[in-house]
Amino acid sequence: MERLIVLDTETTGIEPSEGHRIIEIGCTEIIDRQITKDNEYHQYIQPERLVGDSERIHGIKDTFLKEKPKFEEIAEEFLEYIEGATLVIHNAPFDLGFLNHELALMGAEQRIEDNCKIIDSLEVSKEQRPGGMHNLDALCRRFEIDASERTVHGALLDAKILAQVYIAMTGGQFTLFSESQHAENDSIKIKRVDSDRTQIKIVMANEAELKAHNTYFETFT
């Protein structure tokens, strides 16, 4: 049985080295390529600092977080939830950097990747379509996944959406025909064109025809 945990976090900023902290963790589970809606993990966290300008991204206010537990209070249950699973994270270094920073602040020496395998869905997308757009909104458009509820970033909502994206992006090529059509198409034979057929005659334009052609298009300039 393959157990994947699709994980996302929301934070007060982009650099834990600057004192920024996690304020939300959201996870959804995939078992054998099926999303198990009854085994999610979701927790808001008191970051012991103000959210600042990051509120514009996630919409989470300081007043809302005031009575929420600190990371150290939820760490054990969170680590138990993800233990042994493969984590699917979009831009994994970002989320892992924050999670490992929170563990370090507790005095823990372990890192998330010590107990879990990591799949970075951002890197998977880049390998599939080099040069394209790879943010979550772009992937939703590519795989026709409804993200209309995503008016602001939210860890659990984004994890749910990413779970659908990941299943779609790793699903392989779709078949061209349904099973009922396969039987019909099995009887279709491909007729090859005879290699000894008469060659197609190519007639080149003469000088007068080329002049008329160029004169015609000059009227549009």
* Active site members: 153
Query: How many other C-beta atoms are found inside a 10 Å radius of the C-beta of residue 37?
Result: 10
State the DSSP code for 50. -
The answer to whether the beta carbons of residues 86 and 120 sit under 8 Å apart is: no
Cα of first residue to Cα of last residue in the chain, in angstroms, is: 67
3-state secondary structure of 53: helix
- As a dihedral over the C-alpha atoms of residue 154, residue 159, residue 164, residue 166, rounded to 10 degrees, the angle is 130
3-state secondary structure of 207: helix
**SS percent in the chain: helix, strand, coil, step 5:** 40, 15, 40
**CA nearest to 28, candidates 118, 159, 119, 123:** 159
- Geometric angle at alpha carbon 86, from 84 and 90, rounded to 5°: 140
